Amino acid sequence: MTGLEAKIPEGPLENKWESHKFSVRLVNPANKRKLRVIIVGTGLAGASAAASLGELGYQVDVFTFHDTPRRAHSIAAQGGINAAKNYHNDGDSVRRLFYDTIKGGDYRSREANVYRLAEVSLNIIDQATAQGVPFAREYGGLLDNRSFGGAQVARTFYARGQTGQQLLLGAYQALMRQVKTRTVRLHTRVEMLDLVVKDGRAIGIVTRDLVKGEIARHSAHAVVLATGGYANVFFLSTNAKASNTTAIWRAHRRGAALANPCFTQIHPTCIPASDEFQSKLTLMSESLRNDGRIWVPKNPGDDRPPEQIPEIDRDYYLERRYPAFGNLVARDIASRAAKRVVDAGLGVGPLKNGVYLDFADATTRLGRRTIEERYDNLFEMYNRITDEDPYLVPMRIYPAPHYTMGGLWVDYNLMTTIPGLYAIGEANFSDHGANRLGASALMQGLADGYFVLPYTIGDYLAGLLNEPPVPTDDPAFGPVEDEVGDRVRGYLATGGSRTVDWFHRELGKIMLDHCGMSRSAQGLEKALSDIPALYEEFKTDLRVLGTGEELNQALERAGRVDDFFELAMLMCVDAREREESCGGHFREEYQTEDGEALRDDVGFAHVSAWEWTGDAARPEVQNEDLVFENVALTTRSYK
C-alpha cells in the first residue's frame, strides 16, 4: 500500500488555505479547453463542481443515474446550511465554526480541512444568494438565521424546510447554464459501474445506459466522484431509494482507500416504521427539538393515550440526564438515549418503536400561531404520513440512519489514493470526523464543489498539458468493460428464487442490529459470519427477470446491493477494530459508568484507511494520525 500523504500545507492554521491556493499550479485558459474532467453525481457537490469547472473552461462530462440532475438526494435536506457570517453579532467567527465542527466530530477530523471549510462557508452564502436561492429573510430585507442542533450561535441560513432543494436547484441551474454553453456534457440515466485505472492513474469510467442497457467507456484527464453516502446499506434509512455505494466501492476495489467506514450518523428525529413493508424512513427536521419535549411513559406497558398520562408518569429522559442541553443534545446522544428507552420496553405507538416529541408545552407558552409559523410544513408532512395531527397528539419519532461520515480517503486536495481520482461531498471522509453537526452537510458539499476542487484539481491537471486523454480503445478499458458486462449478465443468469429487495432488507437488519447505533465485538463477529452467508445466498439464489437491454430497475438494484454486501463487511471490520466509542460509533465495551461514550485519544486519534485485498473480510488498514495543534481534546459533555 502506498503511504498516506495528507499534503496539509505548512504554516499557521489561518494561512494554510491562502498559501496553498498560491502554491498550486494554474492552467491557462487555452489549455483548460483541452483538459477533460469526468464528474459522477449531480448533487450539491457534483453539480457545483461541474458548473464551476465548466465556467473555468474545462471540458466536463457529468453523469447521473436520474432522469435529470435536479433529482439528486441533496434535494431532500431540510434544515439549513451553516456559515460563519456573524450577521447577528452573537460572537460567531470562522474560528468558532471550525472549533464547533472539530468538537462535534468528536476529534476525529483534520484541523486543516475543517478550518478551510469554515473559511469558505462565507463564500457559499454569497454565491447561493447571487444565484437567487430564496433564503429566509427578515422584514428589513436581510438574511435571517437560526440556531440549529444545539449550536450556541445563530449561524444557520435556511429556506423554509427545503434548504437542500433550493441550494441544489441553484447549483443545478448553474450547471444547466454550462450545458447550454457546451462546456459541460450532461449524461442522464447513465450509471457509473466501474473505474478505469492505467499506470496507477484514474483515466476513465465504464457506464451503463439505464434505458438501453448499453455499456460504454468514457475517458478523461481526471475523474471526480460526487456520489453521496452509503446509509442505504441499512436498507431502512432516510436516504433516497437509489442512493448507493457502487461508485466509491468500485473505486475502492480499484485501489482507492476507504476511510472510517464505520462512522455513520443516526438521525434522532425520524418517523418510526409503520409495518414490515416500510420502504424508507422520513426525517423530520431537527429544528423540532428546539420547541418539542421528548418523553416516554415511566412504566413499561402504559397503554394510555399520551394526553391521559399525567406528568408524574412521564420520563423526559433527555432533560433528566442532560440538564444543560436537555432536548438539544447532539444527534448521536439523542439517538442512543431513544434506543435505550425503547429497548427497555418503554417505546410508544402501535409497534412500540418510538418516543414522543411533544409540543403541548410550547403551544401553551408560545401560542398555536407561533408553532404554526415555525413548523407548519413539518407538521403537515407528519400528518400526511401518519394520519395523526401533531397539534393534538405528540409526534412519535425514532432514530434512523441518515448520513455517512466515512468515505473515500482524500488528501487536502480532495484527491484519493489513486492519482487523478477525486472524491467530494458525502462521498469522501474528510470533514465531519465521527459525527456531523446539523446543517453542515450542505456546507461541505458546496464548499468542495464551488471553492475547493476548482483550485486543487488544476494543480493535477497542470501536469497533463499536451497529453490527450487516454483513448477509449486503450487496452486498459477492455477488461473493465468485460467485467461490468459479466456482472450485469451474471445477475440475470442466476435464476434463483429471491428478489433483490429481499436480500437488501435482510442485509439491512443484520447491519442495524450489529453495526447500527450500538456495537459490540460479539455482535460484530456475528455480523461478520451472517453477512458472508447471506451473500453466498445472494450469489446463488437471486432472481432478476427481464433483460439487460432495457430499462430494468431490479437489475440496477442488484448491482448496488451486491456492492453493499462487501461494504457492509468492511464497516463491521472497521467497527470491530476501533476499540473506543466516539461520535456515531458507540462500542458497548467502551462506555463510562453512566453509559456515556468513552473515547480513546491515545489509541485511536487516527483515520483508519482501508485497502481492498481481494477478500472483503480481510482488508488491510493504514492509519493517518490526526494532529491537533489548535484545539485541546476534551470530552464532550452535554450535562
Partner 1 sequence: MNVTLQVWRQKGPGSPGAFKTYQVDAISAEMSFLEMLDVLNERLVNQGEDPVAFDHDCREGICGSCGVMINGRAHGPQPGTATCQLHMRRFPDGSTIVVEPWRAAGFPLVKDLVVDRSAFDRIIEAGGYISVDTGSAPDANLIPVPKTVADTAFDAAACIGCGACVAACPNGAASLFTAAKIGHLNLLPQGHAERWSRTERMVGVMEHYFGSCTNHGECEKACPKEISIDFIAMMNADFLRAKLANRRLAAQYR
Residues numbered 432-471 forming contacts with partner 1, rule: CB under 8 A? 450-451, 454
Residues numbered 220-279 forming contacts with partner 1, rule: CB under 8 A? 240-242, 274-275, 277-279
Q: Is 165 in the site for partner 1 (CB under 8 A)?
A: yes
Report yes or no: 610 and 257 within 8 Å, Cβ to Cβ: yes
Residues numbered 277-306 forming contacts with partner 1, rule: CB under 8 A? 277-280, 282-283
Which of 7, 25, 33, 137 touches partner 1 (CB under 8 A)? 137
Which of 1, 392, 551, 633 touches partner 1 (CB under 8 A)? 551
Per the annotation, the verdict on 557 as an active-site residue is no
Q: Is 32 in the site for partner 1 (CB under 8 A)?
A: no
Q: Is 55 in the site for partner 1 (CB under 8 A)?
A: yes
Q: With CB under 8 A as the contact rule, which of the stretches 26-34, 168-176, 435-443, 511-519 interacts with partner 1?
A: 168-176
Pairing of strands 421-423, 407-408: unpaired
Q: Is 384 in the site for partner 1 (CB under 8 A)?
A: yes
Distance from chain centroid for Cα 184: 25
Q: With CB under 8 A as the contact rule, which of the stretches 89-97, 110-118, 218-226, 540-548 interacts with partner 1?
A: 540-548
Between 547 and 634, whose beta carbon lies closer to partner 1?
547
Report yes or no: 178 and 55 within 8 Å, Cβ to Cβ: yes
Which of 20, 73, 187, 402 touches partner 1 (CB under 8 A)? 73
Say what angle helices 521-541 and 500-515 make with each other, to 10 degrees: 170
Distance CA 263, CA 429 (A): 9
Report yes or no: 78 and 162 within 8 Å, Cβ to Cβ: yes
Which of 140, 305, 310, 614 touches partner 1 (CB under 8 A)? 140
Q: Is 115 helix (H, G, I), strand (E, B) or coil?
A: helix
Report yes or no: 205 and 196 within 8 Å, Cβ to Cβ: yes
Q: With CB under 8 A as the contact rule, which of the stretches 135-143, 254-262, 341-349, 594-602 interacts with partner 1?
A: 135-143
Which of 392, 533, 545, 633 touches partner 1 (CB under 8 A)? 545
Which of 58, 98, 107, 172 touches partner 1 (CB under 8 A)? 172
Looking at 36, 96, 331, 587, which residue is catalytic?
Answer: 331
Report yes or no: 283 and 400 within 8 Å, Cβ to Cβ: yes
Which amino acid makes up residue 380? E
Q: Is 85 in the site for partner 1 (CB under 8 A)?
A: yes
Beta-bridge partner residues of 587: 519
Residues numbered 554-573 forming contacts with partner 1, rule: CB under 8 A? 554
Distance CA 70, CA 169 (A): 6
Report yes or no: 439 and 274 within 8 Å, Cβ to Cβ: no
Q: Is 510 helix (H, G, I), strand (E, B) or coil?
A: helix
Report yes or no: 207 and 479 within 8 Å, Cβ to Cβ: no
Between 180 and 618, whose beta carbon lies closer to partner 1?
180
Q: With CB under 8 A as the contact rule, which of the stretches 66-74, 90-98, 520-528, 581-589 interacts with partner 1?
A: 66-74
Residues numbered 488-517 forming contacts with partner 1, rule: CB under 8 A? 497, 499, 501-502
* Cell numbers placing 313: 408518569
What does the DSSP 8-state code read for residue 72? Answer: S
Distance from chain centroid for Cα 572: 18
Between 403 and 409, whose beta carbon lies closer to partner 1?
403
Minimum distance from residue 141 beta carbon to partner 1 (Å): 3
Which of 45, 46, 52, 514 touches partner 1 (CB under 8 A)? 52
DSSP letters, 252-316, are HHTT--EE-TT-EEEEEEEPPP-STT-----B--GGGGGT-EEEEESSTT--S-GGGS-GGGEE-
Contacts with partner 1 by CB under 8 A: the residue count is 80
Q: Is 71 in the site for partner 1 (CB under 8 A)?
A: yes
Distance CA 68, CA 63 (A): 10
DSSP letters, 359-400, are -HHHHHHH-HHHHHHHHHHHHHHHHHHHS--TTTS-EEEEEE
List the one residue out of 96, 73, 94, 48 whose CA is nearest residue 164.
73
Minimum distance from residue 173 beta carbon to partner 1 (Å): 4
Q: Is 135 in the site for partner 1 (CB under 8 A)?
A: yes
Which of 38, 40, 84, 174 touches partner 1 (CB under 8 A)? 174
Which of 4, 8, 24, 179 touches partner 1 (CB under 8 A)? 179
Residues identified as active-site: 331
